[in-house]
């Protein structure tokens, strides 16, 4: 029996005491507060069996625990006690216990070394992004990922729902977005026909509810004004040239974007935001804003007229004008906008409200700049192991991209959400960080799992655990046990070198 508790992400502190907690069969979970009933039921369902449960885990409300997501766990010879001031804290404590049960319940018996655990997160935003436009992932797979990230104390599921290769959600008044924009031909085959793939309102609500009981907030992304091929194929009048357009089956950055001189784009945005408001209770909406090409705006009479009206000098400035309006439209609906770091470019004439959150992906530079301007920041630098579609190592045998080099588990673990260049007074603006899986080359859930794990385990520790408590050698040892847990949960995972 092990004298060490192996948990990912690493808690704030573990103090070992004398003896072992021993339980024949699985423990019974009890709570002294009705507030924790949902968390206790979910945990019990995760270990459903017909055996009689004797040893007890007590979940107790403790207002003295200051951090909303924090918990204390005491493992004694007689019982396990989990204390928290909120249901979120109890949930995280139970998920730590879940990890321990998965790995330490053997031959019908659970044995844990007695210990006292104190735990709470370093950052409030601990996220994972899944691109469901380039590849349409099933609802069961999405639920599996949400359950897994919550077991790692991650609390944001960023759902990328629109791009050049497909529009994946219904919008009232714009039926062609799903009738045409959700269909593309797979040109790898001569016999394949077009297939419409999008999530219904019922399915989206199902995902949001599933995530909510796991204390994960679902943050939707709809992309404006670039990555718009699926929109333009559905409504050609929203483009500068009028088409012909198609839902792209190629991957890359395309010339055709929404026409900045056509006010109808704001009608589409309004309808999209209304649909998001109806389906997603999250306070945040991601509006994209990355990789916009401006060639069409340079040639388009409507866009040139708009430039004149706004007294602007270059087409690039039109994006900041559009972004400012989108941010305001979301604010009117009680939502806070998130944008990729390009939304700050050429924004001198149309400054974004300070409430706009910047997601830094082109390295950490965008986040450094944004925090200096007073914006909250989410780090997801593609140069520091946050892009999970990148190869683990630069070999022909590994799947994935190589845009900014490979991304080893060590690189993901070493990602620091608060880079040294950020001023001390601006560091509080860093909400946290996330890992992103773009799906251009990831065309199956099992391949996605291989790309995600265990790099997301490493990122979870980078955003939960204090900088002082992070040690890669120690993480690597705990990961050996954790890989066994992932195996027992049916997760396909990368098993090669970590660095």
Q: In degrees to the nearest 10, what's the CA dihedral of 237, 239, 245, 248?
A: -130
Q: How far is CA 355 from CA 126, 128, 332, 352, 375, in A?
A: 19, 22, 13, 8, 6
CA distance 45 to 369: 46
H runs (alpha helix) in 118-160: 139-151
DSSP E strands, 271-403: 284-286, 336-340, 357-360, 377-379
Side-chain half-sphere CA neighbours of 157 within 13 A: 28
Q: Which residue has the tokens 């060639």?
A: 295
> Which amino acids are annotated catalytic?
163, 227, 291
Buried b (16+ CB within 10 A) or exposed e, 200-238: eeeebeebbebbeebbbbbbbbbbbbbbbbbbbbbbeeb
Residue in the block written with tokens 């885990």 = 57
What is the DSSP annotation of 358-385? EEE-SSSHHHHHHHHTT--EEE--TTTT
Q: Distance (Å, rounded) from C-alpha 233 to C-alpha 181? A: 6
Would you call 293 exposed, middle or buried from its count of C-beta atoms within 10 A (0-12, 13-18, 19+)? middle
Q: Give me the torsion for CA of 146, 151, 152, 154, rounded to 10°.
A: 40
As a whole number of angstroms, the distance between CA 132 and CA 161 comes to 6
Q: DSSP strand E in 2-144: where? A: 13-24, 28-31, 56-61, 71-75, 79-84, 105-106, 109-119, 125-131
A 10 A CB-CB count for 111 gives 13
Rounded CA separation 203/146 (Å) = 14
442-465 residues labelled b (16+ CB within 10 A) or e (exposed)? beebebbbbbbbbbbbbbbbbbbb
Contact (Cβ atoms closer than 8 angstroms) between residue 369 and residue 356: no
Q: Tell me if 465 sits within 8 A of 475, measured CB to CB.
A: no
For residue 465, give both structure tokens.
Answer: 């655990």
Say how far apart CA 92 and CA 82 lie, in whole Å. Answer: 10
């Amino acid at each position: 029996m092990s004298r060490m508790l192996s948990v990912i992400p690493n808690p704030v502190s573990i103090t070992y005491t004398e003896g072992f907690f021993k339980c024949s069969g699985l423990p019974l979970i009890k709570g002294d507060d009705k507030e924790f009933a949902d968390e206790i039921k979910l945990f019990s369902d995760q270990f459903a069996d017909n055996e009689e449960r004797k040893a007890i885990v007590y979940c107790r409300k403790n207002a003295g625990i200051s951090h909303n997501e924090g918990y204390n766990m005491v493992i004694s010879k007689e019982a396990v006690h989990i204390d928290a001031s909120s249901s979120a804290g109890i949930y995280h404590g139970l998920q730590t216990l879940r990890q321990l049960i998965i790995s330490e319940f053997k031959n019908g018996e659970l044995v844990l070394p007695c210990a006292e655990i104190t735990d709470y997160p370093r950052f409030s935003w601990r996220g994972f992004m899944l691109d469901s436009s380039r590849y349409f992932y099933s609802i069961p797979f999405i639920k599996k990922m949400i359950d897994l990230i919550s077991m790692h104390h991650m609390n944001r599921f960023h759902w990328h729902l629109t791009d050049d290769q497909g529009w994946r959600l219904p919008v009232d008044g714009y039926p062609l977005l799903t009738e045409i924009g959700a269909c593309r031909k797979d040109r790898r085959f001569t016999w394949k026909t077009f297939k419409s793939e999008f999530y219904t309102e019922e399915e989206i609500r199902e995902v949001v509810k599933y995530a909510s009981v796991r204390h994960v907030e679902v943050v939707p992304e709809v992309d404006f004004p670039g990555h718009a091929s699926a929109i333009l194929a559905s409504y050609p009048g929203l483009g500068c040239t009028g088409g012909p357009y198609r839902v792209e089956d190629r991957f890359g950055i395309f010339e055709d974007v929404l026409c900045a001189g056509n006010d109808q784009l704001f009608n589409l945005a309004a309808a999209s935001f209304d649909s998001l408001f109806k389906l997603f209770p999250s306070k945040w909406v991601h509006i994209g804003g990355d990789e916009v090409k401006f060639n069409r705006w340079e040639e388009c009479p409507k866009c040139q007229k708009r430039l004149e009206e706004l007294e602007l000098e270059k087409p690039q400035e039109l994006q900041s004008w559009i972004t400012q309006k989108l941010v305001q439209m979301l604010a009117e609906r009680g939502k806070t906008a998130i944008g990729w770091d390009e939304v700050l470019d050429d924004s001198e004439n149309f400054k974004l409200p300070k409430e706009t959150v910047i997601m830094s992906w082109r390295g950490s530079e965008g986040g450094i700049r944004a925090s200096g301007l007073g914006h909250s920041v989410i780090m997801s630098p593609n140069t520091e192991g946050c892009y999970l579609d990148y190869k683990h190592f630069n070999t022909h045998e590994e799947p994935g991209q190589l845009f900014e080099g490979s991304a080893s588990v060590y690189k993901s673990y070493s990602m620091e959400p608060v880079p040294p260049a950020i001023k001390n007074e601006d560091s509080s603006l860093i909400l946290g960080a996330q890992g992103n899986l773009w799906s251009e080359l990831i065309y199956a859930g099992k391949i996605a799992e291989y790309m995600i794990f265990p790099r997301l385990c490493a990122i979870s520790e980078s955003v939960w655990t204090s900088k002082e408590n992070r040690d890669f050698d120690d993480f690597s040892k705990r990961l050996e046990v954790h890989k066994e847990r992932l195996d027992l949960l049916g997760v396909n995972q990368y098993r090669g070198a970590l660095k």
